[in-house]
Structure 1
C-alpha cells in the first residue's frame, strides 16, 4: 500500500487491549512449493483469531454474486485445508459482519453439514468463527453473504462515478478487512492460491487480483485463477464500467471510459519500470501487471493487489510527476507480495523495502534529481511526524500489536525509516553488493511470510559477516530496535531544492515578488517544497499575493492542494473555503483530506464548516476514510 512519499504526519491511536495469545507449539516446516521456497511454520497472529499452527488454508474457491441493489456479495467460499495438528478438531476463521447460513465439510464430492459458531464480536477484530468439520475433512464450504456496510467493500451509485450510468464496487482488504467479505484466516502469515467465479449485472465488468484477461467479454459471468500463493490482504475484487488500455504486452490500465486514455498516457512508462526492477531484483513472477484506476473515493494512494494494482486517480496530473506511486506498487511485486511480513508488527519488511525499491526505480527511469527530491520530502515528513509519535511506535521491529488495529501501524515509520535504513546499508556496503544481497533475500524467501528476526539473521549471515567492518551490530540494532532516527544517519539532499528555499526566503523578506521567481519549470515536488517551507501562518497580503500569482486555490493537483488548504485555514484566508468544500466533496483519499479536516477542527467556526462539508461528502466516501474523519471531528466538542 502506498502512503506516498509526499505525505504529512499520520496519527497512531492505541486501541482497546485484549488478552495476549499464548505462544503456539512449533510445527515442522512444510516442503517447498512449486512457486517458492520453504515457508516457516505458521504462527499465531495477535490480530487474527486463526490458529494456523493447527490447520492452514491452502486454497480458496469463491463463487459469489455481486448485488448492487442489496450492496452484498453472496455465495460460497470453499477452503482446502492442511491439518498440521493431527489432534485438532476445529477450524477457527476470522469474520466481520458476515451472514453465514450453512457450513459443510467433505472431500469436494461428498458433503456433510458441519457445526459452526460465532463468538461475540470484538470491536476491532470482528467475530471468531469456529467450525467443527466431520473428522479432519480436507475441505470446508461456507455459504454466506456480506453486510452492506462491510468495512472492506465500497459500493457506489452511478452518480458517484465518472460515467454516471453504472454502479461501482471495489474492495480494500489491507490490513484486516478481507474478513469482512470472505471468511478465512485473515493474517499475512498464511498464504493460499485461489479460484473465483463472479457474476454481475451484464453491463458490469468484474476484475480480481488474479489473471484478468484484457479481452474477456463483458457478459456478467467471470472466472479467475491466482496460481501463486498470496496472503488474505491481497485478495481483491472490483466491478463497474471498466475498459482496458494496453501500455505493453504484459501491462495495461483498467479504468472508467472517461479516464482510460488519460491514465494510459500517464502510466505509459510502466514497462520501463518493470524492466528496471527485473534488472535489479530478478524476474517479475506474476504474469501480467495491470493498474485499475479507481474513483477518487479510494482511501489510499495505491494498493499492491498482485497482477492488478488499485490506484487513486489523484496521481494523474498530466506531467508524470506523481507516477512514483506506480513504481511503489510495482515494487511490492518483490517486497510484500513475494516476500511478506508474517504479521503487521513487521510491516516495515513490506513498506520500507518497497519504498527503497520504488526510489531505485524512480531514479533509473526519471533521474536522480526526482528520486532525491522525493526522498528529502519523505524524510522531512517523517521528522515532523516523529514529534507526535510515541517512542514505542517509532521502532521498525515493533512489539506485537496486541489489542490494536493494525491499520494504525501505517505511519511514515515503516515506510520512510525503513527506506532510510536500507539506504544506510547501501551506503555502507556499496550499491552492487547491496543489490545482490537484496535480490538473494527475495529469491530465497519467495512466496513466504517472514518476520524481522529472520531478516536480521539473514542480514548478519549474508551481508555483515561476508563484508566485515562496514556496519556494526550496534548500528543495526539502533535502526531496528530503537526509536527515532539514528544520530549517525545521513539525510538525503536535493540540489534543486536550494533554489526553491532561496526564492521563498527572499519573497518572505519582501525582496522579491512572485513575478520575480522563475517557477516555469517547477514540478509537483518543487511546489510541495515551496509551500511546506512557509511559516505556520501568512499575512492576508502574503497569502493573497501567492494565490493571485500561482492559483493554488482550486488547483487540480491534489498534492499541492492538501498542503495549500491547511495553510489558508491557519492564515484565515476564507476565500479558499468554496474550493476546500469542492475538494473534500470529491476526494476520499485519507492522506489528502485528513490534514484539511484536522486543521478545520481546531476552531469552532472551522469545525462547523468541516461537519457541514463532511455530511455532504460522506455518502461517496469509503468506510475507512469515514472512520478517520469521524474520529477527528468527534474529538471536538460541538460549537
Structure 2
C-alpha cells in the first residue's frame, strides 16, 4: 500500500493537509517521505463515531465506478469518481473511509475541465474497526475527484468463491456485504449513513459471468462480460452491492423475479412466488414502492446473513428455501426495508432500530395479511422468546432503543433483540394504543415525510410527539413513550401475544417430559417450522443422550435441511453429549455460512475440550467457504475459549 504518491505537491496543498492532520496521519513532503505531525495535534469529534467522514463539510452526491472483476487475483480494480457538494466554502480536504484498499492515484477536476494530481495521505496504522483514514488535499474544492485503486483479496465486504464452493461447480462466484461498515473495503467512500448518493457503474468481468448490482438490473441482459448500471435514487453506502457468478433469471411477477444459479433458480422462483402479493400488501398499507423492480438474488450458502435489503436486488440466503414457504417471511422483511431503511434510513449505527424495528413490524403485517394472524403471532412469540434469552445484565447498555453514544464500539454488535424485536414490539405497542387505522396513517406519513433521508432517534421522537402523542392526547404518555426508547428491558406496557397452536406444542412437550410419551405422526403432521422451533426451545438446557435419541426417532431433527431447526437442535445435542449427531453437525457447519444459524452451535462446542477440538477441526475445513464476517465471528469464539474467556 502506497502511503504518499510520488508527485510534486503545491505549498497550498501541503498547508491544507498539514492543517487537517491528526496524530494518526503523516504529513507529506515533496520527496515522498512522511513525517509525523506535532504530537499535540488532535482529531475533531466525528459526527458518526463509526466513520472518519466529515459530511458537515463536504458530501458525496454521486459516485461513478469503473471496475474489473478479477477472480484469479480475488480483487476489484478500477476507479471511483466522486461528484461533491462542498458545504463549507473554506474547507479544503476530503476525508474518506477505507479498509485494506490500495490507492494508485488521486486526481481532481479543475474548473477548466482538466484533471490534476492531488496529494493524499493514508493513516499509517489501520484502526481494527474503522479501517484506514484517507485524507485528500483539495484546496480548489474540486467538484469531481477520482481515485484509482484496487481491493485486497481479504476485503471484509467481499467474498470470493471457487467453482467448487458453488452449486454448479463450474463458475466462480463473488458477492459483497457492505452493511454495516464494509463498503469501505471495496470502495473508498464516506461510509456513513449520514451521506446518501446516486451511482453509476461500468463493470467488466469474464464473459461467462453475470454481474449484478443494487441498481437497474435488466432481466434480459446479455451475458458478455461488460455491464453498465444506474442507481438514480440516493442511497447510503451500506446499500452499495455487487455480485458476479453463473446467474440466471426467473420471473415471479411483472416487476419482480429471482436471480440464482441455474439449478437453484426454479426452486427459488417457486418458493418466492408470493413476492408480488407482498409488494401489493405493503403498498396498500404504506404507499407506492419507489424503486422500480424488486428482484431477489439467491446467494450460495456462505452468505453470512439471512437477507440483505440492497435496493432493487435483495440478497437472500438459500437456507430460506424449504419447499413449503415456511420461511418466506425473510423476503417480507427484506421487501419491507424498501420503506423502512432504504427509504427512511437510520443516521447512525446506534439508531439501527429505526431500520430493523419498523421493518420487522411491517414484515409481520405482510405475513398476517397473506398467511394469517396465527402464523404472525407464532413468529412474534419465537422472536420474543429469543429476546428474553439474549437480554442479560451484562448487555443492559445495548437494550434501550436509543443506545447512548460510545456504547456501541463495533456497529456489527447491536443486539438482535433490541433493534429487531424490541423495535417491532414498540411499534405494536403504539398500534394497540392509537388503533391500527391511526397508526397506519402515521407510519405512511412518516415514510413520506422522511423519504430518502437519514434520521436519528431524536428526530423520530419529535415527529411522533407532533403526529401521534399530541394529535391523540391521552393515548400514550410521554413517560411511557420514553421508557421504550431509553430504558433497558421490555416495559410492562408491552402487549402480549398467545398462540393456541403453541399451546398444543407445549402439551406434547409436557407429555414427553412428564411421562416419556412421544407424539404420533398424526399429531405433528401439520406442524410448521415455528412449531418445531417452539418444541425444541422449550426443552431443558441439557438432557440425557437417550432422550434426544428418542426425540430424534420421531422428529428426525438430526440432518434436517431446515436451518432454523438445526440452529436450535444441534446446540442442545452438543450440551447433552448426544455424539450421534456429530457427523451431521460437522456437515451443517461446513455447508452453511449464515452466522445466525451456525454461531449457537460453535458457541456450545467451545465450552468443553472435546467440543473445542471439534470446533477447530470443522472451522479449518469450513473457513475457505465462509464469508470474512462469519470467519471473524467463529475465530473470535474459538480464541476466547482458548484464552479462558468463554464461560
Q: Same fold (TM over 0.5)?
A: yes
Q: In terms of mean alpha carbon deviation, does 486-495 or 234-243 score higher?
A: 486-495
Match of 1:447 in 2: 452
Match of 1:94 in 2: 97
Q: 1:511: Cα distance to partner?
A: 5.6
Per-residue CA distance 1:388-437 (angstroms, 9 max, x = gap): 65211111011124771101115221110000001000000000000000
- Trace 1:32-431 onto structure 2 (pairs within 5 A): 44-106=47-109, 109-120=113-124, 121-387=126-392, 389-401=394-406, 404-431=409-436
Q: 1:517: Cα distance to partner?
A: 6.6
Q: 1:23: Cα distance to partner?
A: 5.5
Which runs of at least 4 in structure 1 moved beyond 4 Å after TM superposition?
A: 18-24
Match of 2:5 in 1: none
Q: 1:536: Cα distance to partner?
A: 1.1
Q: Measure, in 2, the Cα distance between the counterparts of 1:48 and 1:542.
A: 51
Q: Measure, in 2, the Cα distance between the counterparts of 1:132 and 1:541.
A: 69
Q: How many residues align?
A: 603
SS at match of 2:524: coil
Match of 1:509 in 2: 514
Q: Structure 1 length normalisation: TM-score?
A: 0.93
SS at match of 1:474: helix
Q: Measure, in 2, the Cα distance between the counterparts of 1:266 and 1:508.
A: 36
Q: Measure, in 2, the Cα distance between the counterparts of 1:539 and 1:46.
A: 48
SS at match of 2:379: helix
Q: Measure, in 2, the Cα distance between the counterparts of 1:403 and 1:479.
A: 18
Q: Measure, in 1, the Cα distance between the counterparts of 2:316 and 2:285.
A: 24
SS at match of 1:555: coil
Q: Is the 8 A contact 1:297 1:589 kept in 2?
A: yes
Q: 1:22: Cα distance to partner?
A: 4.6
Rg: which structure is higher?
2
Match of 1:609 in 2: 614
Report the CA distance shift for 1:389/1:360 in structure 2 as closer, same or farther (over 3 A).
farther
Q: Measure, in 2, the Cα distance between the counterparts of 1:61 and 1:525.
A: 45
Q: 1:21: Cα distance to partner?
A: 6.8
Report the CA distance shift for 1:514/1:496 in structure 2 as closer, same or farther (over 3 A).
closer
SS at match of 1:47: coil
Q: Measure, in 2, the Cα distance between the counterparts of 1:131 and 1:512.
A: 71
Q: 1:514: Cα distance to partner?
A: 3.0
Q: Is the 8 A contact 1:199 1:221 kept in 2?
A: yes
Q: Measure, in 1, the Cα distance between the counterparts of 2:521 and 2:318.
A: 33
Q: Measure, in 2, the Cα distance between the counterparts of 1:322 and 1:271.
A: 16
Q: Is the 8 A contact 2:110 2:116 kept in 1?
A: no
Q: Measure, in 1, the Cα distance between the counterparts of 2:482 and 2:70.
A: 51
Q: Measure, in 2, the Cα distance between the counterparts of 1:53 and 1:535.
A: 53
> Could you tell me which of 584, 591, 594 is aligned with 1:586?
591
SS at match of 2:350: helix
Q: 1:491: Cα distance to partner?
A: 2.1
Q: Measure, in 1, the Cα distance between the counterparts of 2:393 and 2:327.
A: 27
**What are structure 1's unaligned runs of at least 5 residues?**
1-17, 25-43
Q: Structure 2 length normalisation: TM-score?
A: 0.91
Q: Measure, in 1, the Cα distance between the counterparts of 2:368 and 2:212.
A: 32
Q: Is the 8 A contact 1:47 1:401 kept in 2?
A: no
> Could you tell me which of 626, 630, 639 is aligned with 2:635?
630
Match of 1:33 in 2: none
Match of 1:40 in 2: none
Per-residue CA distance 1:89-109 (angstroms, 9 max, x = gap): 100000011100100000594
Match of 1:29 in 2: none
Report the CA distance shift for 1:322/1:265 in structure 2 as closer, same or farther (over 3 A).
same
Per-residue CA distance 1:142-187 (angstroms, 9 max, x = gap): 0000001000000000000000000000000000000000010000
Q: In terms of mean alpha carbon deviation, does 228-237 or 507-516 score higher?
A: 507-516
SS at match of 1:390: helix
Q: Is the 8 A contact 1:514 1:546 kept in 2?
A: no
Q: 1:513: Cα distance to partner?
A: 2.2
Match of 1:8 in 2: none
**What are structure 2's unaligned runs of at least 5 residues?**
1-23, 25-40
Q: Measure, in 2, the Cα distance between the counterparts of 1:372 and 1:490.
A: 12
Q: Measure, in 1, the Cα distance between the counterparts of 2:108 and 2:325.
A: 52
Q: In terms of mean alpha carbon deviation, does 392-401 or 211-220 score higher?
A: 392-401
Report the CA distance shift for 1:48/1:239 in structure 2 as closer, same or farther (over 3 A).
same
Q: Is the 8 A contact 2:518 2:551 kept in 1?
A: no
Q: Is the 8 A contact 1:90 1:131 kept in 2?
A: yes
Q: In terms of mean alpha carbon deviation, does 490-499 or 146-155 score higher?
A: 490-499
Q: Is the 8 A contact 1:379 1:491 kept in 2?
A: no
Q: In terms of mean alpha carbon deviation, does 218-227 or 549-558 score higher?
A: 549-558
Q: Is the 8 A contact 1:46 1:403 kept in 2?
A: no
Q: Measure, in 2, the Cα distance between the counterparts of 1:194 and 1:436.
A: 32
Q: Measure, in 1, the Cα distance between the counterparts of 2:49 and 2:545.
A: 51
The two structures, once aligned, show a CA RMSD in angstroms of 1.6
Q: Measure, in 2, the Cα distance between the counterparts of 1:81 and 1:560.
A: 49
Q: 1:540: Cα distance to partner?
A: 2.6
Q: Is the 8 A contact 1:67 1:73 kept in 2?
A: yes
Q: Is the 8 A contact 1:203 1:220 kept in 2?
A: yes
SS at match of 1:518: helix
